Amino acid sequence: MKIDLTGRVALVTGATGELGRAITRTLAGCGACVGIHYHQATDRATALQQELPGSQIFQADITDKAGIDRMRDAVKSRLGAPDIIVTNAVIQYQWMKVLEQSPDDYRSQFESCVLQNVLMAQAFIPDMIAKKRGRVIAINTECAMQNTPNQSAYVSGKRGMDGLLRVLAREVGEHGITVNQIAPGWMVSETRPAAGRPDSYRDAIPLKKWGTDQDIANAVAFLASDLASFISGVYLPVCGGNVMPAI
């Protein structure tokens, strides 16, 4: 059994980030023609494009409707309408207690978690409906289940995203479109190695090891493929069992 995305067009937001790079490389390795979204990291986007023949880079502010619509038009012109969209981008900020967190940080998380997915759906799903197939894959987080102190803005944004995407899954399923979420734990990547990270986190994971960015990319590739054609509305933790959704 092989994951084959040959002939499919994928667009990854935040493709130059820690998880985004692995996701983009893996989708391309499965045969997809990949659009590499970036906001400000022009050099990293260009380097990734040079690494992946046939890929294209696209700049946009994922919280701005006009910017996403321009990106949609550019992607369609240069690659074709996407069959797969992966919403991975998120705005970074300093985590603080609720009583100390700036209201602007809550706005930034709403805009990059909820509003991004609204705008991406409105821009790209109509073409999926026309083709009667599509994959929407959003990167959530294990934090949405943990509710740990200092995470309130991040958790509220990601939990809002979860509600939005579950509704979307019900609305577009009849068109052959699946909508799923992947929830990473604290993953190791090429620029964020395990060295220096707390052993206490790793030891609390049932599998007793660190997960990697490739683990997330593998899950994305599976959900993007025909192997997952009957899976929709899922919140899938990829965190070694660190969080476990209950029935």
In the block, tokens 């959003």 appear at 138
Active site residue 93: no
Q: In this structure, are residues 217 and 25 in contact, taking their beta carbons and an 8 Å threshold?
A: yes
Put the strands of the sheet holding 84-87 in their side by side order: 56-59, 33-38, 9-12, 84-87, 134-139, 177-184, 235-238
CATH code for the domain of 217 = 3.40.50.720
Q: Which of 38, 106, 154, 235 is catalytic?
A: 154
- Counted domains in the chain: 1
Residue 1 lies in a domain: no
Task: Locate 142 and state its tokens.
Answer: 């294990």
Residue 99 lies in a domain: yes
Residue 54 lies in a domain: yes
Residue 27 lies in a domain: yes
Rg, Å, the chain Cα set: 17
Dist. CA 219–CA 243, nearest whole Å: 16
Q: How does DSSP classify residue 110? A: I
pLDDT per residue rounded down to tens, the chain (247 residues): 789 999 999 999 999 999 999 999 999 999 999 999 999 999 999 999 999 999 999 999 999 999 999 999 999 999 999 999 999 999 999 999 999 999 999 999 999 999 999 999 999 999 999 999 999 999 999 999 999 999 999 999 999 999 999 999 999 999 999 999 999 999 999 888 888 888 999 999 999 999 999 999 999 999 999 999 999 999 999 999 999 999 8
The predicted structure's pLDDT at residue 142: 97
Q: Please, how many CA atoms are within 13 Å of residue 63, restricted to the half-sphere of its CB?
A: 10
Dist. CA 115–CA 109, nearest whole Å: 9
Distance of CA 118 to the CA centre of its chain: 14
The predicted structure's pLDDT at residue 196: 80
Q: In this structure, what is the dihedral angle of CA atoms 140, 145, 151, 156, given to the nearest 10 degrees?
A: 70
Dist. CA 53–CA 4, nearest whole Å: 17
**DSSP-assigned beta bridge partners for residue 84:** 10, 135
Q: Which range of residues forms the domain containing residue 203?
A: 9-238
Residue 31 lies in a domain: yes
Task: Locate 86 and state its tokens.
Answer: 């992966």
CB atoms within 10 A of CB 231: 13
Residue 4 lies in a domain: no
Residue 14 lies in a domain: yes
Q: What is the largest CA-CA distance in the chain?
A: 51
Dist. CA 161–CA 239, nearest whole Å: 19
Q: What is the pTM of this model?
A: 0.96
Residue 3 lies in a domain: no
